[in-house]
Structure 1
Amino acid sequence: MESKSNREEKEMIRAVELTHYYDDGPEGEKEYSLRGIDLTVKEGEFVVVLGHNGSGKSTFAKHMNALLLPAGGKIYIDSIDATDPENTWEVRKRAGMVFQNPDNQMVATVVEEDVAFGPENLGVEPSEIRKRVDKSLKEVNMYEYRKHAPHLLSGGQKQRVAIAGIIAMRPKIIILDEPTAMLDPSGREEVMKTIRQLNEEYNITIVHITHFMEEAVQGDRIVVMEEGKIIIDDTPRNVFKNVELLKSIGLDVPQVTELAHELIKDGVPLDEGILNIEEMVEAICQLK
């Protein structure tokens, strides 16, 4: 795999006026979950999607994996039209999806068999599957657990096995729909470390949906959704300068970012968009 530093500016995801609705309004009317989404994600990018419940972020993610088809517009995955049902298999070979609950993705009673499930469905030769399973488990630091029963693993370990199962299918894109929501802080850090490694070392394009702001700051870009629309698409620093806007739509900001914001309101000459403790310490030291 090519390193992230050498990546080409190739489009891996492109949504054009993407629209989706459910027929489950109070009187059977259309409830729009996506309202004309336009978004392009380049090869090797790490894009974080934020939004409160009902903003449309999970619906959008499912279109990237062809789990849902739109009511209007288009979405292309590695230049393949994902709105054409005949392309579903090719889309899913390129874009793997990791869900919130790892137990829902476990299909076998032994870790290595679970990781082998995806490549087997793709018709990969057994000798190649063996290589892929071992390599994928090593990439998520779970190789030593290959003979273990998945139900005996911790939440973070289970999620890393789920990610290994996706990696074994050799996708170009991994879409993660709140993969750390059910994990403790240690498990969240395990999974985020794995995601960062796959992105930085192997150039896999990442779309990461989360409600943890400390995870969001690790992306290259943050896309903020509200009522089925994209309202912000920018770097983490620029996104988190909009403290009042984010709070107005029900989102938090990193604690240190909010602290800096409050200090600025009290007249302390700090920059908006401080993202972590190290930046805060440096900014305060410069005041002296």
Structure 2
Amino acid sequence: METKRNTDNKPIIEAVDLMHYYDDGPSGEKEYSLQGVNLSVKEGEFLVVLGHNGSGKSTFAKHMNALLLPQGGKIYIDGIDGSIQENTWEVRKRAGMVFQNPDNQMVATVVEEDVAFGPENLGVAPEEIRKRVDKALKDVQMFDFRKHAPHLLSGGQKQRVAIAGIIAMRPKIIILDEPTAMLDPSGRQEVMKTIKALNKDFGITIVHITHFMEEAVQGDRIVVMEEGKVIMDDTPRNVFSNVDLLKSIGLDVPQVTELAHELIKDGMNLTEGILNIEEMVEALCRLK
């Protein structure tokens, strides 16, 4: 059952009054993790989702990949109704998921075999799998490691292999749920470089959940979630111009953004929403 709506000029991801809850509240009442989320994502967009633990961001991500089904409302992935269980594989063909711990996604003892696992499950022909695996590993700069054992790789390399495994399935969307949380700064840079290339060079729609604000500024758009609701949805500059609001819900902002905010409070003639060191240097030079 592949109930598909007309996708002419439609977003590639569309949540309509999306609800999810657990029946384990303190008194047995429903505890909502998503409370009527309405959100659309355009094809080729790089969306960042922010929120503290328990805000609903990971629950929302799991709906995009049909790991969870809505308990109210709808979610459409490339026009496919993700609220219908029979559509699960159709959704997953279109939207691949990369998790926080790459070791949890490793299923084989050789890198290229691990990357081949997803396409094999989709019933792709062996000769096509060979082409996809080689290309996916080249796309993430891991082709030279194709015969290596995954457990011997660095954290950043493992995560790039996990991403290659998703790419080999040829999805239109890649959802990344805090993929750099367990990596050192070098590994985080490796993975972010790969994600940005997939988005800019290959046009893959990216949904990136992170708690690193320096990663968030690299998106086209940021959604902030709180108590299962979307409370902000704007460009990185506009979102990070609201330093006090973000801090009030337990979120940080990029260090340079906070520095600019404090200087403004002290009377310095700067604008809110400075996102990086280069912008700060330029703004300070203009004051001379």
Two-structure CA RMSD over aligned residues (Å): 0.8
SS for the counterpart of 2:283 is helix
Report the 3-state secondary structure (helix = DSSP H, G, I; strand = E; otherwise coil) of the residue aligned with 2:12.
strand
Paired position in structure 2 for 1:223: 223
SS in 2 for 1:54: coil
CA distance in structure 2 between the aligned counterparts of 1:205 and 1:236, rounded to whole angstroms: 17
**Residue 52, structure 1, aligned to residue 52, structure 2:** yes
Residue 257 (structure 1) aligns with: 257
Aligned length: 281
Q: Percent identity?
A: 85
Amino acid at match of 1:115: V
Q: Any conservation in 2 of the 1:115–1:161 contact (CA below 8 Å)? A: yes
Question: Could you tell me how far 1:27 is from its partner in structure 2?
Answer: 2.1
Could you tell me how far apart the structure 2 residues matched to 1:22 and 1:106 are?
Answer: 29
1:106-125 counterparts in 2 under 5 A?
A: 106-125=106-125
In the alignment, the residues of structure 1 paired with residue 101 and residue 23 of structure 2 have an alpha-carbon distance, to the nearest angstrom, of 27
Q: 1:265 corresponds to which letter in structure 2?
A: K
Q: Name stretches of at least 5 consecutive residues in structure 2 with no aligned partner.
A: 1-7
Look up the equivalent residue of 1:258 and give its one-letter code: E
Residue 9 of structure 1 deviates from its aligned partner by: 5.9
Give the partner amino acid of 1:54.
G
How far did residue 265 of structure 1 move?
0.3
TM-score under structure 2 length normalisation:
0.97
The aligned amino acid for 1:232 is M
CA deviation after TM superposition for structure 1 residue 10, in Å: 4.7
Amino acid at match of 1:218: Q
Residue 11 (structure 1) shift: 1.1
Q: What residue in structure 2 maps to residue 78 of structure 1?
A: 78
Contact kept in structure 2, 1:223 and 1:232, CA below 8 Å: yes
What residue number does 2:200 align with?
Answer: 200
Shift >3 Å, 4+ stretches: none
Name 2:269's counterpart in structure 1: 269
Deviation at 1:89, TM superposition (A): 0.5
Q: 1:188 to 1:9 in 2, by over 3 A?
A: farther
The answer to whether 1:149 aligns with 2:149 is yes
CA distance in 2, matches of 1:168, 1:179: 18
Given the alignment of the two structures, is residue 13 of structure 1 paired with residue 24 of structure 2, yes or no? no
Question: TM-score with structure 1 length normalisation?
Answer: 0.97
The corresponding residue for 2:5 is none
CA distance in 1, matches of 2:85, 2:20: 16
2:88 is paired with a residue whose SS is helix
Q: What residue is the counterpart of 1:164 in the other structure? A: 164
Asked whether the equivalents of residues 46 and 205 of structure 1 are also in contact (C-alpha less than 8 Å), the reply is yes
| 1:36-47 matches, cutoff 5 A | 36-47=36-47
Change (3 A) 1:269 1:197: same
How far the C-alpha of 1:118 sits from its partner, in A, is 0.2
Q: Deviations over 1:216-275 (max 9, x none)?
A: 000000000000000000000000000000000000000000000000000000010000
SS in 2 for 1:273: coil
The residue number in structure 1 matching 2:132 is: 132
Give the CA deviation at 1:70: 1.1
Amino acid at match of 1:261: H
Q: Following the alignment from structure 2 to structure 1, what is the Cα–Cα distance between the partners of residues 143 and 71?
A: 43
Query: In 2, are the aligned partners of 1:9 and 1:42 still within 8 Å (CA)?
Result: no
Counterpart for residue 99 of structure 1: 99
Distance in 2 (CA, whole Å) between partners of 1:9 and 1:202 is: 20
Mapping of residues 174-213 of structure 1, within 5 Å: 174-213=174-213
Q: Counterpart of 1:11 in 2: which secondary structure?
A: coil
Partner of 2:4: none
Aligned partners of 1:200 and 1:270: how far apart in 2?
31
State the partner residue of 1:22: 22
**Counterparts of 2:24 and 2:70 in 1: how far apart (Å)?**
16
Q: Can you give the 5+ residue segments of structure 1 that lack an aligned partner in the other structure?
A: 1-7
For residues 51 and 285 of structure 1, what CA distance do their matches in structure 2 show? 34
In structure 1, how many angstroms separate the alpha carbons of the residues matched to 2:249 and 2:27? 26
| Separation (CA, whole Å) in 1 of partners of 2:120 and 2:49 | 31
Partners of 1:155 and 1:234 lie apart in 2 by: 32
- Mapped to 1, the partners of 2:27 and 2:285 lie a distance apart of 59
Aligned to 1:3: none
Q: Return the offset for 1:22.
A: 0.6
Residue number in structure 2 paired with 1:241: 241
Query: 2:3 corresponds to which residue?
Result: none
Report the CA distance between 1:29 and its aligned residue: 1.2
Distance 1:285 1:9, change over 3 A: farther
